[in-house]
Structure 1
């Protein structure tokens, strides 16, 4: 179980690295007025999204395996349901990032850098909540 938990945490950290950096690329893209820079940032965003998506899948899969190993405990814990709700929101956030990546690469971006600056802060809020729920187990 500890090996599973260790790898779960490793893949969560890798996924979050992407969730933190990808919207920052969006900010730079929207703020840039140079077409060559925008093209390079679009490529970077596409490659980063493709790179971190498997981390999300593996992190979720390992989490499901850990729950399956002790379902009576985890599924009865209110903190776990709140954590899973946060994870579901992050998965939606990840998918939205993918749509923004596609829009940027198709030259259909409709958001400015200020929007992306706020959008960039969303995963930080979920990180705080999920870590507190998983470690402190307040409920």
Structure 2
């Protein structure tokens, strides 16, 4: 098969793999938030999230990871000169980190399938940013083909991630304050 076809298939499955990783952690967040709901909503939501997580994980995310890896190994076999390039060593290190991230997500997935919620939604939101950082680092490495310039892209996404997380926390505080103000006003009117 022509190298460009292999490369195209590799990119397609990388996209679907990351889509699965991004969405699975989103489902983990919703699943964790459902833990705070009253019954029967809690049970209904968690059952639905377990089903959605299972389908996403085994039908999209795992197959995409496997196929992206197969096509990556095929490209490296077909074009071994890439292995002598320093930027490729850094990229493969990030890919290894992505495998560890995927494995850690699998552990969380298995826990949630047993309805064991060990992380809150804030921790999972932060966890979701790890895949974003890996994605930015790899894309900058592949495009720039420089083992140093990727740092600026990663530093940028870390700064943006921190600002987003601070914004989310601020919004949450404002929303909670408004809820308390409404409750206080309602209680005052009832008196």
Q: Sort the TM-score into its range (normalised by shorter chain).
A: over 0.9
Residue 119 of structure 2 is aligned to residue 103 of structure 1: no
Alignment-derived partner of residue 11 in structure 1 = 13
Bigger radius of gyration: 2
Flag as ranges the 4+ runs of structure 1 deviating above 2 A. Answer: none
Residue 69 of structure 2 is aligned to residue 60 of structure 1: yes
* TM-score after normalising by structure 1: 0.95
CA contact (8 A) 1:27 1:112 kept: yes
* TM-score after normalising by structure 2: 0.70
Displacement of 1:69 in angstroms is: 1.1
Q: Select the structure with the greater relative contact order (CA < 8 A; seq sep ≥ 6).
A: 1
Q: Deviations over 1:46-88 (max 9, x none)?
A: 11111210110110111111111121x2111111111111111
1:1-139 residue pairs with structure 2 within 5 A?
A: 1-32=3-34, 33=37, 34-51=42-59, 52-71=61-80, 73-139=81-147
Describe the SS at the equivalent of 2:125: helix
- The RMSD of aligned alpha carbons is 0.9
Displacement of 1:10 in angstroms is: 0.4
Displacement of 1:96 in angstroms is: 1.1
User: What stretches of structure 2 of length at least 5 have no aligned partner?
Assistant: 148-191
Displacement of 1:126 in angstroms is: 0.5
The size of the alignment, in residue pairs, is 138
User: What stretches of structure 1 of length at least 5 have no aligned partner?
Assistant: none
